[in-house]
Amino acid sequence: MGVGDVSKRILLGRKLRSSQLGETLLSKRIALPVFASDALSSVAYAPDEVFIMLSIAGVSAYAFSWKIGIAVAVVMLTVVASYRQNVHAYPSGGGDYEVATVNLGRKAGLTVGSALLVDYVLTVAVSVSSGVQNISSALSFMQGHETEYAVGLVVVLAAMNLRGVRESGAFFAVPTYGFMLGVLGMAAYGAIRAFTGDLPQAESADLRLAPDPSYAGNLSQIALIVLLARAFSSGCAALTGVEAISNGVPAFRKPKSKNAASTLLLLGAIAITMLLSMIILAREMGLKYVDPADIERLTRADGSALPAGYDQPTVIAQVSKAIFDGFPPGFYFLVAMTGIILILAANTAFNGFPVLGSILARDGFMPRALASRGDRLAYSNGILILAGFAVVLIVAFQAEPTRLIQLYIVGVFVSFNLSQLGMIRHWTRHLKTEKDASERRRMVRSRVINTFGLAMTSVVFVIILVTKFLAGAWIAILAMVAFFILMTRIRGHYDKVSEELVAGDEDQLLPTRVHALVLVSKLHKPTMRALAFAKATRPNVLEGIFVDTDPETTDALLKEWDKRNLDVPLKVLYSPYREIIRPIVMYATSIRESNPRGVVAVYIPEYVVGHWWEQLLHNQTALRLKGRLLFSPGVMVISVPYQLRSSEAALERRVDELERVRAGDVRRGRTRRR
């Protein structure tokens, strides 16, 4: 295949493929599952956390469980109402980061950015851990090895995302609708059995639950309030993921904001229904659930200890197993869907994290090269960093969702709060200029909603902070501070550089002359091409330069040079110690010294090869020479590539690379590229 063919194929291939690129916008029917996995999956672990917290005061405290469920539902509805305002006001998909930055300034935006980065890491850790915990309720061979399986899953997810996941509507729709169907079906069936007086008991109903020693006996009013606050803040884990839609408005069909807002409302309603049904059913069925670390508080009815290594099935597993006692496939279906939707939630973090990174990079808070969204480098690095942090957390907390959740929601509420505060500012600012009365009324109403939302979320934030700080939230806060400082430093560096680089009028002065040097090692095709290219630019002076490390080679080259009638003088540089780089740099520098207004152009013939090991065998000296010449002012370095035959394979690989599908494309409204 000739060189012309290759380049034509690239061009045509490209053109075809480009025309296939395009947007497919999401209908509400598809948008719901695409954005719901995050928010709904948290229903799988939130009830467990509520029961664990209440169990501290013994089984009597379970009477409060549905009240806590209601409280969480109220907060959820408030947050949903608030975010419906965001979706209308910021349809560009920037989410909380954009809202905070625009309305509250750079620091607030960066705080939200840091909180979200930490949040993505925790989403992966918590979702995968909870997924493994649920699946192990059905597959008993996994019990006791949760950490290993969770780490393995993170690695698989990272590998899949590095490789490129082919997402589609169905990819999200099947498990999400499956999960909804499973949970709501179970709730309905459970309700029927309850009405007919046929509601079975959960497998832990016969167990005896001892309160935590410090909570034994009659509880003081304050101790009870503290306990309920802790249970409530754990239950708020159900709120994570609600904000996802506000990042995805551009992917909706028109009217985008309206469709996004109604999807959000629907999502909130479903999540609340699921959460409440789970809590009420579990309570009615006599379920007992304690922190796995305190498993000894759970004993047989006769007071004897449970067998060593006893693993509590999750709330969802216990409830569904009992309700579907005459229909095991129902249980297995629900456990499978729970596991899958949790892993799907982790997967969405894998595409959210690099996207957030690219937005932060565009604003100069991350290396600027990460700013182009479709970029593979940004993607790969983001995926690896996310997976690395998640694995560290999973190992440190032994894949126990209960312990990881202590770190989780503080970040979510940081962004909830700043986002609401930003929205209030937004409406206030717009109200200053808006004249139209009905428009003003709508804005005032929105501001009221956001104000109420802020009041609610800030109270919850304080509760979370107080109840979870020592239990682990401090780690998340520390990580946010670290991200914040790092990103501030990066931005500071860019600002400093950009100040240094402001162009003045003197920068428009033209160099007076160009002195071109063509690096010669042998007289082969690459050198000939470099000479031809250099000649074509018609410099004021053109010389070949050759470093003499061995007299025989030099003589042979000089003879061939003459024979070929190249019409270019060849300068031989003497190098007693066989150094190549130093004599060339010195020569180029000295030319520039003697003519400070001129430019030295160094032409370096480069081999373009197809394999990494060929790269080791070629171009190394050229590369280092270039690295060194860049430090000399007034010298420019021209790489004249010569494509070896083996480079064709590499070119194919690179073209494929550019065409590859990336995770999260669906959420951003992109179709497949082939």
Which 295-324 positions form the footprint of a second copy (CB under 8 A)? none
From candidates 375, 431, 488, 570, binder to a second copy by CB under 8 A = 375
Q: Which of residues 630-649 bind a second copy (CB under 8 A)?
A: 630-633, 635-645, 647
CA 32/CA 169 separation, integer angstroms: 10
Q: Which of residues 654-673 bind a second copy (CB under 8 A)?
A: 654, 658, 670
Q: Which of residues 353-372 bind a second copy (CB under 8 A)?
A: 358, 367-369, 371-372
Check binding of 92 to a second copy (CB under 8 A).
no
Check binding of 674 to a second copy (CB under 8 A).
no
Q: How many residues bind a second copy (CB under 8 A)?
A: 103
Task: Give 257 or 589: the residue with its C-beta nearer to a second copy.
Answer: 589
Burial class (CB in 10 A: 0-12, 13-18, 19+), 173: middle
From candidates 511, 558, 573, 660, binder to a second copy by CB under 8 A = 511
CB of 255 to a second copy, least distance (A): 22
Check binding of 293 to a second copy (CB under 8 A).
no
CB of 572 to a second copy, least distance (A): 16
CA 361/CA 367 separation, integer angstroms: 6
CB of 244 to a second copy, least distance (A): 21
CB of 458 to a second copy, least distance (A): 34
Q: Which of residues 447-506 bind a second copy (CB under 8 A)?
A: 490, 493-494, 497-498, 500-503
CB of 112 to a second copy, least distance (A): 21
Closest CA to 230 of 478, 413, 469: 469
Q: Residue 613 corresponds to which tokens in the numbers above?
A: 């090991």
Task: Give 168 or 639: the residue with its C-beta nearer to a second copy.
Answer: 639
Burial class (CB in 10 A: 0-12, 13-18, 19+), 645: exposed
Three-state SS string across 40-107, please?
HHHHHCHHHHHHHHHHCCCHHHHHHHHHHHHHHHHHHHHHHHHHHHHHHHCCCCCHHHHHHHHHHCHH
Q: Residue 436 corresponds to which tokens in the numbers above?
A: 């139209």
Q: Residue 539 corresponds to which tokens in the numbers above?
A: 């410099």
Q: Residue 340 corresponds to which tokens in the numbers above?
A: 């899958």
Phi, psi for residue 381 in degrees, rounded to 5: -60, -45
Q: Which of residues 578-617 bind a second copy (CB under 8 A)?
A: 578-582, 586, 589-590, 592-593, 596, 599, 601, 606-608, 614, 616-617
Phi, psi for residue 89 in degrees, rounded to 5: -80, -30
Q: DSSP assignment of 270-289, as one string? A: HHHHHHHHHHHHHHHTT---
Task: Give 219 or 528: the residue with its C-beta nearer to a second copy.
Answer: 528
CA 672/CA 666 separation, integer angstroms: 9
Task: Give 432 or 578: the residue with its C-beta nearer to a second copy.
Answer: 578
Closest CA to 347 of 158, 596, 578, 517: 158
Task: Give 428 or 537: the residue with its C-beta nearer to a second copy.
Answer: 537
Q: Which of residues 561-580 bind a second copy (CB under 8 A)?
A: 564, 566, 576-580
Task: Give 3 or 478: the residue with its C-beta nearer to a second copy.
Answer: 3
Task: Give 373 or 442: the residue with its C-beta nearer to a second copy.
Answer: 373
Cβ atoms of residues 82 and 96 within 8 Å: no
CA 88/CA 624 separation, integer angstroms: 54
Task: Give 168 or 549: the residue with its C-beta nearer to a second copy.
Answer: 549
Q: Which of residues 228-247 bind a second copy (CB under 8 A)?
A: none
CA 159/CA 165 separation, integer angstroms: 10
Q: Which of residues 512-541 bind a second copy (CB under 8 A)?
A: 512-514, 522-529, 532-533, 535-539
Task: Give 170 or 532: the residue with its C-beta nearer to a second copy.
Answer: 532
Task: Using the Cα atoms of residue 90, residue 96, residue 97 and residue 102 in order, give the sign of their dihedral.
Answer: positive
CA 226/CA 231 separation, integer angstroms: 9
Task: Give 222 or 501: the residue with its C-beta nearer to a second copy.
Answer: 501
CB of 609 to a second copy, least distance (A): 8
